Amino acid sequence: MATPTAPARLARVSGAGLGLRRELLAPLAELPADPAAGIGFMEVAPENWLQIGGRLGRQFRAYTERFPFVCHGLSLSIGSPAPLDVPFIKRVKTFLDARGIHDYSEHLTWTGDEGQLYDLLPIPFTEDAVHHVAARVRQAQDLLGRRIALENASYYAPLATELDEAQFITAVLEEADCDLLLDVNNVYVNSVNHGYDPVAFLDRLPLTRVRYLHMAGHYQESPTLLVDTHGANVIDPVWELLDATYARLGPVPTLLERDFNLPPLPKLFEELAGIRDRQARVTLTVSEAV
């Protein structure tokens, strides 16, 4: 087996991470030190915390002082026809800087025009869209004072096919000179919904731009329609795709997303352990190859 080549711009976190939801604030705070040590880092959407003060604000601050954090935005709307919301981006920068959070990512989608639709909408796979999105990414990076990572999105109907999905993602990242938040579950969901080989798709992405990974569960509407929900356990084919990803990248930081239907904490920690075990195995394989 060839030695995996690590990306050049990994996130400033490591190990297996967990998305912090408000429902988890109290349960996680009560954990003894040993289980909590299994969380390598945490992730939040900054929009959910920008104006939170009082008791919740204090609880959140305690977590940012205890764990390394990354932020994954929901409403930058990088593909929108409307101008970027500059005041919003400046508030995000202040939020990140105040908490010492370096890594910020967003979805390669758009969320509205005159207002927010609160959904992650697909962008047409066209050359014009590449230029439009890349220019907006460069503007956002200038305002934030940091590189951002864009997440490959799940989608259910392509709006245009001038480029295919991998070509579109690659073109945006290269023209914008930004990074990739590789969502392994989204690759699997799209591979089923649009009929392609997920491992072959991985090999067409610019993997040296990967910042970190997302893992999540989904809902099976039918054998040929999966819906990205973050409300279920990770299934075996997605774990296998994570193994294939680590074989190419090494044990890069990986975050478990669970937005609802939250299981008891021991079940969440089982999935985190599944990530850590796979990272440890690929680390051992790399050390043996060297």
Spatial contact of 51 and 80, defined as CB atoms under 8 Å apart: no
- Give domain status of residue 106, yes or no: yes
Mean pLDDT of 26-44: 79
- Give domain status of residue 1, yes or no: no
- Give domain status of residue 11, yes or no: no
- Give domain status of residue 86, yes or no: yes
Domain with 121, as residue range(s), is 16-289
- pLDDT score of 156 more than 80: yes
Predicted local distance difference test score (pLDDT) of residue 9? 82
- Give domain status of residue 218, yes or no: yes
Please state, as a whole number, how many other Cβ atoms lie within 10 Å of the Cβ of residue 45.
16
Could you tell me the CATH number of the domain that includes residue 32? 3.20.20.150
- Band of residue 1 on the pLDDT scale cut at 50, 70, 90: very low
Integer CA distances (angstroms), 173 to 38, 97, 187, 193, 267, in order: 32, 24, 17, 24, 35
- pLDDT score of 4 more than 90: no
- Band of residue 226 on the pLDDT scale cut at 50, 70, 90: very high
Q: How far apart are CA 27 and CA 152, in angstroms?
A: 31
- Give domain status of residue 2, yes or no: no
Mean pLDDT of 242-253: 97
- Kindly report the three-state secondary structure assignment for every residue of 238-268: HHHHHHHHHHHHCCCCEEECCCCCCCCHHHH
- Give domain status of residue 3, yes or no: no
90 backbone φψ class: left, alpha, beta (φ>0; ψ -120 to 50): alpha
Mean pLDDT of 188-212: 97
Q: What's the whole-model pTM score?
A: 0.93
Give the total number of structural domains in the chain: 1
Which of 32-36, 139-143, 211-215 is predicted least confidently? 32-36
- Band of residue 29 on the pLDDT scale cut at 50, 70, 90: confident
- Give domain status of residue 6, yes or no: no
- pLDDT score of 8 more than 90: no
Predicted local distance difference test score (pLDDT) of residue 118? 63
Q: How far apart are CA 44 and CA 39, in angstroms?
A: 14
